[in-house]
Amino acid sequence: MRGTGPQVEHSGVTPELEDLFAFLRFPSVSTDSRNAGDVRACADWLIGKLQAMGLTAQLHETPRHPVVVARNVHVEGRRTVLIYGHYDVQPVDPLALWNTPPFEPEIRDGKIWARGATDNKGQMLAHVLGVEKTLREEGELPVNLIFLFEGEEEIGSPNLAAFLEAHKAELKCDVIAISDTGMVAPGVPTLGYGLRGIACCEATLRGPKGDLHSGLFGGAVANPATAVARLVASMHDETGKVAVDGFYDDVRPLEAWEREMWSKVAGVSDSEFLRITGSPGLFGEPGYSSAERTWARPTAEVNGIGGGYQGEGSKTVLPAEAFVKFSFRLVPDQEPGDIMNKVKAHLEAHCPPGVTVEVEVGHDGKPYVADPHSKFGLAAQTALRKAFDAEPVLIREGGSIPIVQTFRDILGVDTLLLGLALADAQIHAPNENFPVENFEAGIRLNQALLKELAL
């Protein structure tokens, strides 16, 4: 599917939604080299949109996918606000589970259905259109604005840190705003003030030099598929705590005021977690609620596991190798490199006899936390209150945006996390969706935010 293909007509759709549909039609999957042309075409579309609004916009090359930077005419004495987003999207597999083609957006039940609708095209374009509306109504913005949009967030932003270092002076700002996070419940404005970090790896267990007949050789040599199951089981104790030695050494404890505040947040109770996930029961580190586990406690998760015959019926084979993919969500004061060293030591120490283990380290990112009661944090809360006509709640996010801590390290400023996604948005999964009302609220939020940050 191509983003430049025939457009679907949507009767009664607003110009803002038509812009979003055009944006969503680009299959800008950053991880797949076959989509490199689509990623660039999407960036070119953004450049055209931003220039048509009267902004200065430039496409910056990186070793893989381009960065888009746009700005208004900067006025001395005004605050400078940088708004970040990403125009790349996740792969659509498994395609058969989509109810409609993932790059042919449509509205059903008050939601926009398409890959990237929530993550992150719908959320970031709401900011673009909020700026466009303010320029149309007021003739200028109340702040100096920088848009920074990348095409590699879904592959860990491998080239953005170097770009920030190279352009540090021209990207100097007072605060950063990002809408790539979630709301706790429909209609409940949410300010995120923290993100978990991440560290990933893959372990490959190897046994015989090739697949073997399980009748002739089973019981005589170790089975890597059995061994990988034992290795995975070693990662947690029976209660759900991570069993890696030293894993919790540097974890910053939850503050009492956070636990008190989160206990009152609507939409994140244990029963809500069960309803949203459809799981038959909850499980995790004892002594914490589901919200506390996902927002402020570290985890170890299996993201994929395999080995041996995967087809229909039986094939009596003893596989030569098996694999497991892990991701570790980290919290403040944990360092990805330190955690990965401890994980590698654990995997090597617990590798079952008769097989070897090779650990390949993947991407990582540091955790992030800021003061939600800072000057800019309070301004963001006011803007959320105005956009949604409701009192905002303050949370940390369970997900990771590794570049947020990098922004702080390089540009020296904090980030406001203004989530517009709902828990059932199906991001990274088939049938991704974004409520029309959240898209429209995001436009209002941008207008209110820039006004509040200007004060």
User: With 80 as the cut, is the pLDDT of residue 8 above it?
Assistant: no
Q: What is the pLDDT of residues 269-287, one digit of tens each?
A: 999 999 988 999 999 999 9
What's the CATH number of domain 197-251+298-365, 3.90.1150.10, 2.60.120.330, 3.30.70.360, 2.40.50.140?
A: 3.30.70.360
The DSSP 8-state label assigned to residue 65 in this structure reads S
Q: What is the pLDDT of residues 49-66, one digit of tens each?
A: 999 999 999 999 999 999
**pLDDT score for 281:** 94
Q: How far apart are CA 351 and CA 75, in angstroms?
A: 61
What does the buried/exposed string (b/e) look like for 70-83 if buried means 16 or more CB atoms within 10 Å of the residue's CB?
Answer: bbbeeeeebbbbbb
Q: One-letter amino acid identity for 440?
A: E
Sheet containing 321-330: order of strands: 299-306, 321-330, 197-206, 356-365
81's CB contacts (< 8 A; 6+ apart) are: 143, 144, 145, 146, 173, 174, 175, 176, 177, 449, 450, 453
Tell me the mean pLDDT in the region 227-253.
97
Tell me the mean pLDDT in the region 284-295.
95
Domain regions of the chain by residue span: 15-195+367-454, 197-251+298-365
Tell me the mean pLDDT in the region 255-262.
94
**pLDDT score for 110:** 97
Distance between terminal CA atoms of the chain? 46
3-state secondary structure of 348: helix
User: With 50 as the cut, is the pLDDT of residue 32 above it?
Assistant: yes
Tell me the mean pLDDT in the region 6-19.
72
User: With 60 as the cut, is the pLDDT of residue 5 above it?
Assistant: no
What global pTM score does this model have?
Answer: 0.85
Tell me the mean pLDDT in the region 90-105.
97
The DSSP 8-state label assigned to residue 421 in this structure reads B
Range with the lowest mean pLDDT among 124-133, 254-263, 342-351?
254-263
Confidence of residue 401 (pLDDT cuts 50, 70, 90): confident
Structure tokens at 164: 């920030």
Confidence of residue 374 (pLDDT cuts 50, 70, 90): very high
Confidence of residue 414 (pLDDT cuts 50, 70, 90): very high
User: With 50 as the cut, is the pLDDT of residue 4 above it?
Assistant: no
188's CB contacts (< 8 A; 6+ apart) are: 266, 267, 388, 390, 392, 393
**pLDDT score for 267:** 85
User: With 90 as the cut, is the pLDDT of residue 7 above it?
Assistant: no
The overall average pLDDT reported for the chain is 95
Confidence of residue 18 (pLDDT cuts 50, 70, 90): very high
Tell me the mean pLDDT in the region 291-310.
96
Q: What is the pLDDT of residues 162-199, one digit of tens each?
A: 999 999 999 999 999 999 999 999 999 999 999 999 99
Range with the lowest mean pLDDT among 104-108, 318-322, 361-365?
361-365
**pLDDT score for 1:** 40
* Percent of the chain surpassing pLDDT 70: 97
Q: How far apart are CA 190 and CA 395, in angstroms?
A: 7
Structure tokens at 34: 């076959």
Q: How far apart are CA 118 and CA 426, in angstroms?
A: 9
Q: Are 67 and 160 in contact (CB under 8 A)?
A: yes
Name the superfamily (CATH) of residues 15-195+367-454.
Zn peptidases (3.40.630.10)
Q: How far apart are CA 95 and CA 115, in angstroms?
A: 11
Q: One-letter amino acid identity for 427?
A: I
**pLDDT score for 11:** 55
